[in-house]
A and B are shown apart, each in its own frame.
Chain A
């Protein structure tokens, strides 16, 4: 084995950990059957794989971007997204172990699905090769389709899986067709080459060349828009989020969305911003993205207002958050000329927002699951008075919701602040105004949950389905507590986060 290959493998260590965990959990499942021991072993192995992957990631030095295997680009940017995706997967595995909605008989096979999806997400955000993009996307999506239908006793779960699969397959078909056009234009599968070809077509190709650029971009963006649930391609999200088992929903809302945003940023940067830019083209693309961002967040928030199922409410709010994330992308595209600083402002805003969204959403789903598990509560009505019975969960839920709204002492405020600042600095004032109105709407519906938890309901205590807590639920609650602490801490001390994000810019 050549030393070169060894370096390549080292760059791939986190992914190798994930794949090793997949293989070991499958083998353990095969040997040990479906008993209690097997469940313990597979759970521990899956978590060990995630921890190993995170440690391997921690050892990586990404100050100098490197390439691995000719298709991966190992840089700070990939590092940032891989850290988000892998750690989110770890938490989801923990949630999955305690979540009672899953059948014990199939719990062992659930871990390889999650790890596989994480593996796909990691590849998706570290590659700039079209083939690897397709493979990463499918590696992320296919296990997700299966996981969405994992609770086969639940009719909603099977329907969610079907809906996710149909729209996902359609989106990947559109995206693949877009890729074939890009390949035809540039003769290459490598994003920077494609960027050159796009610029050339737009500048020299005349009207037809422009049609070609617009057509392929629309097709590719449709595929990515589906993945992040942006406006015209959002319609699958509420149903799939509601129908899927709660840990899977958390996975989709955090890891899958992070991977989609990672792909979008890399695509935008690699194909549109990396070379002599065609300002006219970028300005148009930027204003379209800004409009999509505005419509996405408005639609998500307005529809969330009338929801009564908490999971569905969070699903719509997650669509709205996709709109905020797209704001940063719009800023990147609106930055004209070779104004790299403006591009970085937009990128920084997106990454900051994503990092804060990560804590808020994972935590909120953790609380939701804890309440669903202990009290069987799903609707706002069921939540009445639960805050007094499970004060810890209740208070943490409020913290996460405050963060998702963007209230000051929490991380969410920092994220929102960066996005607003970026929008205003690049002249998208109207978008900032729309976003501010949206944040107000979000405050209204998010606060319905704490109101139900603490202010409504009689004094008679609700009988918990599960009287006592075992070890694993305690660990899971502890991890939620850590998330809550991080949410508040990052709201006050965000210098580290900014430094981290700045080190991760493309």
Chain B
């Protein structure tokens, strides 16, 4: 069952990634991104990270991709054309990068040998994670910093966007 779920979600994520990276249409790419994010959420679930999977769906699939789709709608006329010349230029670079990554991962595999996912535990993780968020020696400070970050960034974003509306373009 677990094997099946892994293969299922991994296939969704991979297919989405392929379409995202190579499809001509920008809207197709955006929906492919949704597939990747959904696949990853499912994989979190197979890893027993239920809360994280739910967050991924809510925040990423529900929030980030909507934002990106808005950006596509508001700002794009041309299709997400691929630069073929760039492919030829980049192919060796990407090949090298891929080969390097593969070697790196073989290293990771070497340290991870013998650790297998055996059972799918439906045990909820929210309790332990919630505790860590409010533990002064755990993640309390990062949690507070994150709130400041969101405050500052969103105010800044709104300010720039509002300028756009009110601004009289000087053309």
Contact = CB atoms under 8 A, between A and B. Distances in A.
A116 B110 contact: no
Contact of B145 (A68, A139, A149): A139
Interface centre among B136, B137, B156, B157 (most CB of A within 10 A): B156
Interface stretch (B35-43, B80-88, B98-106, B122-130): B98-106
A132 B101 contact: no
Contacts of B159: 106, 109, 146
A34 to B, nearest CB: 11
A208 B110 contact: yes
A274 B126 CA distance: 36
A201 B106 CA distance: 13
Contacts of B167: 152-153
Interface in A395-453: none
Contacts of B166: 105
Interface size class of B (residues with CB under 8 A): 35 or more
A503 interface: no
Interface string B52-93: 000000000000000000000000000000000000000000
A136 B145 CA distance: 8
Contacts of B153: 116, 142-143, 146
B155 A109 contact: yes
A205 B110 CA distance: 8
Interface centre among B101, B104, B112, B140 (most CB of A within 10 A): B104
A212 B156 CA distance: 39
B156 A69 contact: no
B152 A149 contact: no
A181 B106 CA distance: 12
Contacts of B112: 184
Interface centre among B100, B140, B145 (most CB of A within 10 A): B145
A143 B154 CA distance: 9
Nearest to B168: A153
A116 B148 contact: yes
A116 B153 CA distance: 9
B117 interface: no
Contacts of A391: none
Given A142-B149, A143-B153, A149-B160, A70 B111 contact: no
A211 B170 contact: no
Contacts of B106: 208, 211
A449 to B, nearest CB: 30
B152 A22 contact: yes
B151 interface: yes
Contacts of A131: 139, 142
Contacts of A132: 141-142, 145
A152 B160 contact: yes
Interface in A188-234: 201, 205-206, 208-216
Given A22-B148, A109-B156, A215 B100 contact: yes
B123 to A, nearest CB: 21
A115 B153 CA distance: 12
B152 A5 contact: no
Contacts of B160: 146, 149-150, 152
B136 A70 contact: yes
Interface in A73-132: 103, 105-106, 109, 112-113, 115-116, 119-120, 123, 131-132
A44 interface: no
Nearest to A23: B151
Interface in A1-33: 5, 8, 12, 19, 22, 26
Contact of A139 (B100, B103, B148): B148
A253 B167 CA distance: 29
A72 interface: yes
B7 interface: no
Contact of B107 (A138, A150, A211): A211
A135 B149 contact: yes
A205 B152 contact: no
B118 interface: no
Contacts of B138: 70
A185 interface: yes
Interface of B: 100-101, 103-104, 106-112, 136-142, 145-146, 148-149, 151-153, 155-157, 159-160, 163-164, 166-167, 170
25 contacts: A5-B136, A12-B141, A22-B152, A68-B141, A70-B138, A72-B141, A105-B163, A113-B152, A116-B153, A131-B139, A135-B146, A139-B152, A142-B149, A143-B152, A146-B153, A147-B156, A149-B160, A150-B160, A181-B104, A184-B108, A184-B111, A205-B110, A208-B106, A208-B109, A212-B111
